[in-house]
Chains A and B, each alone.
Chain A
């Protein structure tokens, strides 16, 4: 796959990343409370691969993406992109470096400026970062429109004239404009209809092959993740609980949470509807302001013991490409 021809170079490394949001309450904020949105996350993304982060809403996956993009400042940690620690860069240098990393957002309806024409939306990053002549600019914009499958006759239209799938194509063209190395896709297909989802997924995969792009793919749809990823990390309450290559993760899950997530996806086969679920996820996410002590999943885990309630499991390797944060992996 993609990983093989790219010599396993690490493009992005995140070390000990933490983000605590201050949610203190009371008179002069006497009651100190912190929401642990991202808690001690480490990951390595290799050149040319698709690294997916999955989890339920509120698990911190979008916060993590925003921190990597430097849209939110982390409380602690390092983000090493292309061998440079982004957090030590000056504002000016960071702005230049950011041209190499772009983002495609979840909601194609709100992530495009309704007052800008399609041409200007795609041209904006080029105008900001590159000094192009007028002719070069329009050549590049039309080239980009062609790449993502938009007719060049649309260039003077406004976003509201497009359907959801077309708007997501505009978002992708804008992200591609500066030939980035890394594209972070934050739930790029979850707002789209099924028939359009497949079009966008195919487009993303083709672009990756063509331009050797690296994706960080944030999603909650496991079937989509399975289709597009090389490596998958599962997040629960700000922590990575399991991380593995796609094949390894989907053939065997060591963490009860991952197992529960995968078995709660409805199977598209009416003859299998009464299959017994091996792990059913009971209850809902606990309050992230006061995360449970020990393993954060123990309140919903049917295998939890006393050890899980007091001691926090560390992420450890089960095989070379599969690690899990659980005292008693299944």
Chain B
């Protein structure tokens, strides 16, 4: 009904020029994010999930560059905008929370200054009003004694506090899209659950659209509406969160879910995914997951699969389902 795509990434390609040649750490990534929903991008380190987020923010810097694709935000292609136009959008329409709260805040400015900075930049208000709004934001993220924290420097705050301050900065101009890159990875479990609660209330009560980047399926299960699984720069599976957890299709997704120990169940031996993530300079000829795949078919060694729709809103890039859907399975 009112559901529409706030963000649509189509065939995004990011290239890095290295001494050993060119690599594509993001290779044809497509996904969309509906207004008011939370989409999670899941994958291991080096799969390109953070680069995808940085591309959306327009923060890809040398030696990397975007070499293809489109990033449609409210129907506008962000990649066609000028530097100045992107600058005006950053912080106002799109905002980002980073993984390392301690190192993402500038240590030589007070927390309050850094929150007020973006308010002053994007909104037509005076210092006093900016301070008032900043303190309100700090309170909203659950910081006690917000007035005092406003004047303190990042080093005097704990990791959880810094992450709250980061969220306050990101929310300062009421952005339409919030990108959270591993927002809780560096935090303890009890603090993690407090931060997730804040994000949860942003998503549910304020209907904020959130792009969540994580490697933790627990966080995905708690937060996401849609899930995108990435491996070696490509999207290998896309689905809504329920059918992903009920019926993961791609052998990589299945492996990831099985190899994480869970509190709710006991297993004698974890089913690990053998091997390691392929080197981008030396990718397998066929499916990138082929060397580690337990269900590999002969075709997987030589040819790359395309995205296949296996159920309503559930897509997977795997030969197993290609065969099934086109009826060529028993050749």
Sample (20) of A-B pairs whose CB atoms are under 8 Å apart: A163-B276, A166-B276, A193-B277, A194-B44, A195-B255, A197-B260, A198-B260, A205-B269, A222-B189, A250-B263, A264-B189, A264-B192, A265-B189, A266-B218, A267-B222, A268-B220, A268-B257, A268-B260, A284-B160, A284-B161
Identify which of A20-28, A174-182, A223-231 touches chain B: A223-231
* A157→B24 CA distance, assembly (Å): 27
Verify if B120 is at the interface (C-beta below 8 Å from A).
no
Contact check, B272 vs A198: say whether CB atoms are below 8 A apart: yes
Q: Smallest Cβ distance from A230 to chain B, in angstroms?
A: 13
Whether B193 lies near A199 (C-beta < 8 A) is: no
**Given the complex of chains A and B, what is the CA–CA distance between A56 and B159 in angstroms?**
12
Least CB separation from A166: chain B residue: B276
Known A56-B190, A202-B270; contact A262-B260, beta-carbon cutoff 8 A: no
Per-residue interface assignment for chain B, residues 219 to 249, with 1 indicating a CB less than 8 Å from any chain A CB and 0 otherwise: 1111110000000000000000110010000
Q: Mark interface residues in B183-195 (1 if CB within 8 Å of A CB, else 0).
A: 0000011111110
**What residues make up the interface of B, taking CB atoms closer than 8 Å to A?**
44-45, 158, 160-161, 188-194, 196, 215-224, 241-242, 245, 255-257, 259-264, 266-267, 269-274, 276-277
Given contacts A223-B262, A269-B264, A270-B242, contact A193 B215 (CB under 8 A): yes
What B residues does A265 contact at CB under 8 A?
A: 189, 193, 218, 263
Q: How many residues of A contact B (CB 8 A)?
A: 41
A196 interface residue (CB < 8 Å to B): yes
A271 to chain B: closest residue by CB: B242
Could you tell me the distance between the alpha carbons of A199 and B273 in the complex, rounded to whole angstroms? 7
How far is A194 from B218 in the complex, measured between Cα atoms in Å?
A: 12
CB closest residue in chain A, given B43: A193
Asked if A291 is at the interface of the complex by the 8 Å CB criterion, the answer is no
Q: A193, B189: Cβ atoms under 8 Å?
A: no
Shortest C-beta distance, B131 to chain A (Å), equals 25
Chain A residues with CB under 8 Å of B216's CB are 194, 266
Interface positions of A from 122 to 179, Cβ below 8 Å from B: 163, 165-166
Residues of A within 8 A of B (CB): 56-57, 163, 165-166, 193-199, 201-202, 205, 220, 222-224, 226-227, 250, 260-262, 264-273, 277, 280-282, 284-285
A196, A223, A280: the one contacting B193 at CB < 8 Å is A280
- Chain A residues within 8 Å of B271, by CB: 198
Taking the nearest CB of chain B, how far is it from the CB of A193, in angstroms? 4
Smallest CB gap from A205: residue in B: B269
In the complex, chain A residues whose CB is within 8 Å of the CB of B266: 226
Taken together as a complex, chains A and B put the C-alpha atoms of A17 and B310 apart, in Å, by 59
Q: Please, which residue of chain B has its CB at the minimum distance from the CB of A272? A: B221
